[in-house]
């Protein structure tokens, strides 16, 4: 019998934030939609202060935005927002990819392969939540392997809302293209060569965002590091 793993105890605020986060990922809450604390508290059977605490966490992750004197809204990213987030994320993530390629082990490679397979299954089923979790886990494995907690934390901050935004209106073929992109990135990592892994990562990302997400980017968008 395999180990079942330890039980993870969540606070009520964490449970509420998970519920709202999943609602956003699954498209039950649409980008730009206003989130009213009292209504959420009533719907979820909890208190308004608990919802407020949960929304603060989701704001930190980028899933929601609080506008002074107006309220809290599900994050809606414009093309300009996406371009700016990508500039930051990719400048950081190519560093993580370089480090991860040098530290790749057979065990980590198997974990990454499994996550790509998980993404493929979720894409076929159009299961947004499962796809998001596998996608984010794939990147988190790379960030963790890089061994720089500050880099990992910075990438987490900019990646959450970007992934959720992409999933909100993504057609079926784009899910499958995302799977191809991650398999391409994995092949680069398996080379064990930092420069090769970085270049493959940049090419795969450029192709995906320009061809399948209609994000206009110049050829030197990410810049080559030497």
Q: How does pLDDT run across 118-131, given as a tens digit for each residue?
A: 999 999 998 888 99
Give the span between the Cα atoms of 11 and 30, in whole angstroms: 26
Reported as a single tens digit per residue, the pLDDT across 175-207 is: 888 999 999 999 999 999 999 999 999 999 888
Give the span between the Cα atoms of 145 and 197, in whole angstroms: 14
Per-residue tokens: 69: 């004197």
Biggest distance spanned by C-alpha atoms of the chain = 55
Contact assessment for residue 49 and residue 9, using Cβ atoms and an 8 Å cutoff: no
User: pLDDT value at position 225?
Assistant: 46
Among 81, 90, 100, residue whose Cα is nearest residue 202? 90
Domain that holds residue 93: 79-212
Q: Which residue, of 74, 102, 128, is where some domain finishes?
A: 74
Strand partners, 74: 64
Give the span between the Cα atoms of 155 and 160, in whole angstroms: 9
Do 45 and 65 fall into the same domain?
yes
| CATH number of the domain encompassing residue 125 | 1.20.120.530
Give the span between the Cα atoms of 207 and 193, in whole angstroms: 21
Q: What CA–CA distances, in Å, run from 1 to 4, 5, 7, 114?
A: 9, 12, 17, 21
User: pLDDT value at position 129?
Assistant: 87
Do 113 and 176 fall into the same domain?
yes
Total number of domains in the chain: 2
Would 4 be classed as within a structural domain? no
Would 163 be classed as within a structural domain? yes
Query: What pTM did the predictor assign?
Result: 0.83
Per-residue tokens: 50: 């608990």
Give the span between the Cα atoms of 159 and 85, in whole angstroms: 8
Residues 83, 87, 90, 92: what is their CA dihedral angle, to the nearest 10 degrees?
-150
Segments of the chain scoring below 70 in pLDDT: 1-9, 167-171, 212-226
Give the span between the Cα atoms of 115 and 133, in whole angstroms: 9
Give the span between the Cα atoms of 157 and 95, in whole angstroms: 16
Q: Which residue, of 56, 74, 92, is where some domain finishes?
A: 74
Do 92 and 138 fall into the same domain?
yes
Do 141 and 194 fall into the same domain?
yes
Q: What CA–CA distances, in Å, run from 78 to 7, 58, 68, 75, 165?
A: 39, 19, 20, 10, 10
| CATH number of the domain encompassing residue 65 | 1.10.10.10
Give the span between the Cα atoms of 52 and 17, in whole angstroms: 10
């Amino acid at each position: 019998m395999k180990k079942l793993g330890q039980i993870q105890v969540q606070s009520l605020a964490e449970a509420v934030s998970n519920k709202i986060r999943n609602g956003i990922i699954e498209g039950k809450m649409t980008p730009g939609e206003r989130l009213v604390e009292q209504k959420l508290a009533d719907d979820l059977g909890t208190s308004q202060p608990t919802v407020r605490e949960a929304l603060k966490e989701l704001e930190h992750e980028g899933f929601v935005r609080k506008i002074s004197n107006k309220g809290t809204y599900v994050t809606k990213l414009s093309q300009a927002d996406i371009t700016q987030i990508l500039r930051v994320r990719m400048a950081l993530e190519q560093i993580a990819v370089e480090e991860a390629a040098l530290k790749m082990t057979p065990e980590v490679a198997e974990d990454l392969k499994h996550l790509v397979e998980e993404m493929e299954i979720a894409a076929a089923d159009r299961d947004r939540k499962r796809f998001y979790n596998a996608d984010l886990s794939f990147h988190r494995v790379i960030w963790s392997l890089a061994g720089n907690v500050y880099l990992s934390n910075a990438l987490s901050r900019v990646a959450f809302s970007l992934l959720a935004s992409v999933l909100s209106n993504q057609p079926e073929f784009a899910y499958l293209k995302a799977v191809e992109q991650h398999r391409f990135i994995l092949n680069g990592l398996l080379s064990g060569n930092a420069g090769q892994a970085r270049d493959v990562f940049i090419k795969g990302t450029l192709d995906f965002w320009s061809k399948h997400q209609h994000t206009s980017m110049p050829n030197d968008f990410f810049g080559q590091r030497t």
